[in-house]
Structures are given as C-alpha cells and as structure tokens.
Structure 1
Amino acid sequence: MTAASTAISSSTIDSIMSCASVSALSDEVLRPVARVLDAESAVYMRFRQAPGEQPFICESAYAGPHPESLDAYTAGFYVEDPLIRPLIDRVGIGSESRNPVKFQLLNQVRQGTLRRSNYFRNFLKPQELGDIIGVALPFHCDGPQLLCLGVHRQAGRPVFEKAHCLALDRLMRPVRLVLEALCMQSALAEHSAILKELQSANTGLEYAAFDEHLRILRSSTRMRTALTASHSDLQAFAGIRSGMRALAAQAPGEQSSVDVRLPDGQPAKLSTAAGCSRRTYILVSGDFDRRPSPCLLAEGMRSGDKLTAREQQVIDHLAAGGSNARIAEELSISVRTVENHLRSIYEKLGINSRTQLISLLLSQ
C-alpha cells in the first residue's frame, strides 16, 4: 500500500470506530467506506426473522445520491435481490456459522439473467445502480440476525476489482465490531423499555436480577420490596440460596430454572443469566397479580385514630420499596427517627418486625 492509501485507511478506521449510533452510520461508516472503495453510495441493513415468519429489515442506513432507493428496497425488493436473498436462505439467518460472507453482483450473477429480471428493470435500473460489493455478517443477538453492508457504483462505471475486495477485507474487522455493538445496543434498549413498561403496568409479573451475594442488580419495585424487607433475615432466604446451589450444581451449558420460595412464601422461578461477565441470577414470580399493589394496601391499612400522619407516610414509602435511609431522605428526617416511627407502627399493629409489616401489607 502507498503512504496515501495508508493515511486514508487510518482515517476511515478512526471514523468507523467512533460510530456510536445507527443515526451516525451514514456519516461515520458508510461514506468513509464508499470513499475508500471509490463508490458513489453504501447501505447498511439488519435482517431479523421471527420463527415461522419471513425475514424483514429492522434497521437500515444509507449514504449516497439516491436515498429513495433505501425505501424502495426495504419495501420489498430485498425479496428479489439475487445476492441477499440466497444469503438469508442458505447461510444467513438461522445459521450457526458466524463467518462473514462476501458478495459481488456483477461477478456472481449472469448479466443476461440479471437484465431480464424484475429486480433489474424496477430497481437497479431506475436507481442507476451498477456493480455492488459487500459482506453479510451472521450474528446472534435476541435470535439470529444478518448484518449486511453493501457498496454501490453507478451504472456505466467499471466493476469493482480485486484491490477493492482487499480494501473491504481490511475494513471488515472494525466494521463488524461496530455493527455488532449497535445491534446489541438496540437489543438492550428494547429490553430496557419492556422492563420499564412491565414495572409501571402492574401486571403481576415481578422480577429481580442479583449476584451470588444477593445484591440486587435490577428489579421491579414490588420484587425489590419483597426481597429488601427480609434482607437481614438469613432464614427467609434459605429457599433462594438452596435454588442457587442447585443451579451451581448443573452441568455446564445446562439451561434450566428451579422452583423457589420468596421470603414471604410466594412461589418463583430462579435461573442464571447467560452471557454475563459474572454469575447473575434471575428471579421471576407471576403470583403478584393475585394481590393488590403495595401502595393501595398501604391506603387500606390507614387508620386515622391509630397511626399518625407521619407513620402513614413511612408506611407509604416502605410499601414503595424504600429503605430506612431512603425514607429518611424523602421525609427529611433522620434514620433514627424512621426507626422510631417503625417501632411505633409495629406496636400499634401488633407485630414485631419489618418482615411482618411487609407481609401484612401484601396480605390485605
């Protein structure tokens, strides 16, 4: 390689590696790649496929003079694409292989066959597309997916040569890293949105993720309340710890869940999360839907002639999952004052522990 081409490749790689969102793909990945390959346009498409369904394009980006071509392609022409469709059917979605698959239109498809096709007459020709070179990257993230990068030359220009194929090879490692990272980023955003909606919808499905020390990493509000209410009571977690030992004894690669009991006696499923950097446990219970929400229970427990207004506030915050420190912060009082209020509440309600108070809240 010449010094000039090395400089171009270095700046292109820097640009690719700086891409942090799908919206930035056009400027930071596609345009630089097209420039290195002396092409007019480039496109990115991510294919997904639900079981029993046709593959579809769930994410895309384009850089070039004909942005309308992306809309036309995603609207249905990809089904007729003589390059992409065979990849989806043979080595793309659903394949165990993660090897990249390179393609080139005018090197793989006979010109006579291509020109007689509906794909050529109604898509390639109107969009003034000539040769196309690219790569398909099988990837597994929330199911099998296919990440495709294509680079285009306008009709009438020379076909891509071996040097261009080699240049694309040199760019493939950073391109793949970025595209896979963006795919995982999208999956994480989808999961976070779903969990947020589940938490606010009060559907009865409650969950928690925690480590081997029972430190909660993520949870729904009511599951956190059920767990933190008994956090100092080791015996209350005996069922969960027994489930953790059972999961640890499973053979490598065995993915199953075990039945456990929450500290308040409710049934739940315990499993381990695959792909985490440390051992992470997932606890899920669907039985909360038979019980009113804690906040409503707190309302039902209120007794004007028995609890003071401040004690009722403490119960509200406790029902919402607040720790003593959090309750103190929310009510602008000291932790010791919170403890005093709790002792008074225990005495008035005829109970003697935080665990019993939470159980009372959940049983009303």
Structure 2
Amino acid sequence: MHGVEVADDSIESAVSKILTCTDHSTVDAQLLRPVAARIAATSGVYFRFASAPRADCYAASYSYAGDTPEAAEVYLDHYFRLDPVVRSGLRWLHHPQAPIELVSGLSASAVDLHDHAYRDAFLYRYNIGHVMALIVPCPIASGPQLMCIGFHRCVDDRPFQAHEVRTFERLAPAITSAMRLLAYQDAERLSHDVLNSLSMSGGVGYVILDHDLAIENANARGLADLDVSPANGTAALLGEVRRLLISGEVSGQGGDGRNVFTTGGSRPLEISVSRLRSPGGRERYLLITSEPLTARLLNASTRLFALTDRESEIARLVAAGLCNAGIATELRIALRTVENHLRSIYAKAEVSSRTQLVSKLLRLQ
C-alpha cells in the first residue's frame, strides 16, 4: 500500500480523532490511520502488553492498519522479544523502576548484528525498512501494562524526516492519553467483572468502609457475613470490626499489608482487613470475608464425597470432636440415626474410623 489515507490529515483533525479513541474496536480508524496519514506511513500497529503472574509477558490486545495484517501475528508469535524498540519496555514490565525510552526511530539497516534474525527474518520479510514508535508504560492496580504504537515505511522508501518526527512528537501526548485510557478502561472492566463475580458466586464477601467507617460499597455475601441489616446498616459483628479499627488492634497494615482474624460463634468467619486510599487521598478499609480454611476444606470434602446435607452436618461435628451421643444431642436425633449416617459417610469417604474420616475431610492424607 502507498500510505494509510484518511480524508483530512491535519494535526488538529488527527488529535481530535485520536482523543475519540475510547474502545479497542476503534483503534484502527481513530488512532492508527490518522497518525499514519499525518506522517505518511505505509502501515501502523498497536500492541498492549501485560505481565502474567509467575510467567512472561503476553499481548493483551493489538490492532493493525496496512496491507499485511499477518505481520502482526507473526511478530507476536516469534519476534516481539527481539524488537529493539520495545525491549526496554518489556524489561520495565517486570521492573517498573527501569528506565524506558518513550519515542524511538529505527531503520532496518541500522538494527545491530545481535538482531539480524529480527531484521532479516521479520523486517525484511514484511518489507519494513523504517519504524517510528512510541512506548507508553502504564502502572495500574491490576498490574503494569505497556502500550506500544509503531508506524512503518518500506525498505526502499526514504526514512522518516525530521519534520515528520516532530509531527509525531506533537501527536505523542494525545496518543499517550488515548492508549492509557484504553488500559484504564480494561482495568475498570476487569475490576467490575471480578467484583460482580464475587457478588454472584457467594464464595467470598467484601465490604468497603470509608474514612468514617461507614459502608461505602459491598456485595451481598459481605453484608450477610457481617449480619448487616438492609434496613439500618448496623450489626454487632460490624460494630466489633469498627471497634478494633478505632482501637488500633486491627490496623489493616499487617506484615503483608493486611490483618486477618477469625471470629468466634457457631459459624466462624475469617475477615481480612486492608487499608486503602481513596482517589482523594483519604483512608478507607477493605474487608474480605470468607470461611476459615478448615470450614472451606470441610465444605469441599463433603461435596467431593457427595454427602447429603444431614451427612455433611454430622461430618462437620465429627471433625469438631463430638462423640456420637454429642452429635445426637446437638442435632436432636436418635443415637442409632447418627450411627447409620456414619456408616454411610464411612462408605462414601472409603474410611473405617473417625480418625481416618477427619484426616480425609481435612485433606491430611
């Protein structure tokens, strides 16, 4: 192709279109093409990289404008780690304090000898002779993101000229804003999806308290765990958490940045307290509620062994140390009924004694 063309390629028009890029589906039309037209590039590409826990980085999304879209896929499959333009950016993903060059220009003929595989097998293969690129680091709560946007000319074309580099630098603030907005929107959607999943699954609860320790946000499980009444928003357990925060017994600043404690009562509850900062800089607290590990293991085991509701109750009481007579009293059923249920539980769990049952329920064997 002989350049990516749009109807109006003025600086003002390009900036306007760039700043309306608020979704990945519009990156081609509102980001890549306006910039490519303004600097007479033959193709343009956008990548967003993220780092995975205990793994290398990966491309979270990409868009391409030009005649050879397969080049972007080949680049991601085999060559992006060899790209000297993005190399420092990829290092930054794992070490966010590392220096990073934001705007780069490159001619394929100038690629150093260590990158000859990248130059010969990729750049020349796809007729890329000159590159102008912008690297934008974006540290966000869900993990650092690296946005890269590059524009190309063919091997036989003239390099990007000084006035075109200056134009690109003038567009760089708008490009940076648009790419960071895309990353922030993705992070917001991820947070919404995670919180919505927590609310729907019932597995874990959360409650956010503001600087006055009033409930700012919560899911249904968190409110239920803290016995908060929808009518008045009060509960004895929530009051106890507030007392611990006011007294300093719980600060939300433990060894790993949080405090974890377990409540008593007939239904023990594990509460993790972390201190957060609001956008305005004021303190707030995130309470994560869940069953203690023992209760979670018992629940998982009763499901694994396909125990009935009554058998699950009896299995939990066995794990709590009650004898058969104690279980009968607790559940108000006959001793013989307890014994019959235990025989069924032993068969399902493939054990022959109480000790073996408790060990298997708590995954100790």
TM (norm. structure 1) is: 0.67
Tell me the equivalent position of 1:49.
51
CA RMSD of aligned residues (A): 3.6
Deviation of 1:176 (Å)? 1.1
May I ask how many residue pairs the two structures share in their alignment?
A: 285
Which structure 2 segments of 5+ residues have no match? 1-7, 300-308, 311-365
The aligned counterpart of 1:121 is 120
Of 267, 271, 274, 1:271 maps to 274
After superposition, the Cα gap between the structure-2 partners of 1:102 and 1:112, relative to the gap in structure 1 and judged at 3 Å, is: closer
Partner of 1:154: 154
Q: Is residue 2:144 matched to residue 1:144?
A: yes
Quick one: which of 29, 32, 39 aligns to 1:30? 32
* 2: CA distance, partners of 1:261 / 1:243: 13
Change (3 A) 1:161 1:262: farther
Matched, 1:223 2:227: no
**1:208 and 2:221 are equivalent in the alignment:** no
Question: 1:193/1:156 Cα in 2 relative to 1: closer, same or farther (>3 Å)?
Answer: same
Q: Does the Cα contact within 8 Å between 2:104 and 2:133 map onto a contact in 1?
A: yes
Give the distance between the partners of 1:104 and 1:247, measured in 2 at CA. 55
Where 2:138 maps in the other structure, the secondary structure is strand
Q: Distance in 2 between matches of 1:98 and 1:213?
A: 40
Q: 1:180 to 1:59 in 2, by over 3 A?
A: same
Aligned to 1:280: 284
How far, CA to CA, are the matches of 2:14 and 2:277 in structure 1? 35
Shift of 1:111: 5.6
- Aligned AA for 2:274? S
Change (3 A) 1:271 1:251: closer
Structure 2 counterparts to residues 79-118 of structure 1, below 5 A:
79-89=81-91, 91=92, 93-96=94-97, 101-106=102-107, 110=110, 113=113, 117-118=116-117
Aligned to 2:172: 172
Which amino acid counterpart does residue 26 of structure 2 have in structure 1?
A
Q: Secondary structure at the match of 2:157?
A: coil
Residue type at the aligned position of 1:273: L
1:227: Cα distance to partner? 4.8
CA drift at 1:48: 1.5
Partner of 2:74: 72
Give the alignment partner of residue 65 of structure 2, picking from 52, 63, 66: 63
- The Cα shift of 1:287 comes to 1.6
Amino acid at match of 2:217: R
Structure with higher RCO (Cα < 8 A, 6+ apart): 1
| CA positional deviation for 1:261 | 7.4
Identity %: 21
TM-score normalised by length of structure 2? 0.67
Q: Is the 8 A contact 1:212 1:280 kept in 2?
A: yes
Q: Secondary structure at the match of 2:17?
A: helix
* Partner residue in 1 for 2:22: 20
User: Residue 17 of structure 1: CA displacement?
Assistant: 0.9
In 1: Cα distance, 2:217 partner to 2:229 partner:
16
Deviation at residue 249 of structure 1 after TM alignment: 11
Q: Which runs of 5+ in 1 are unaligned?
A: 1-5, 293-298, 301-364
Tell me the distance in 1 between the aligned counterparts of 2:75 and 2:278. 35
In the other structure, the counterpart of 2:199 is: 199
Compute the displacement of 1:158 (Å). Answer: 0.5
Q: Is the 1:92–1:137 contact (alpha carbons within 8 Å) kept by the matching residues of 2? A: no
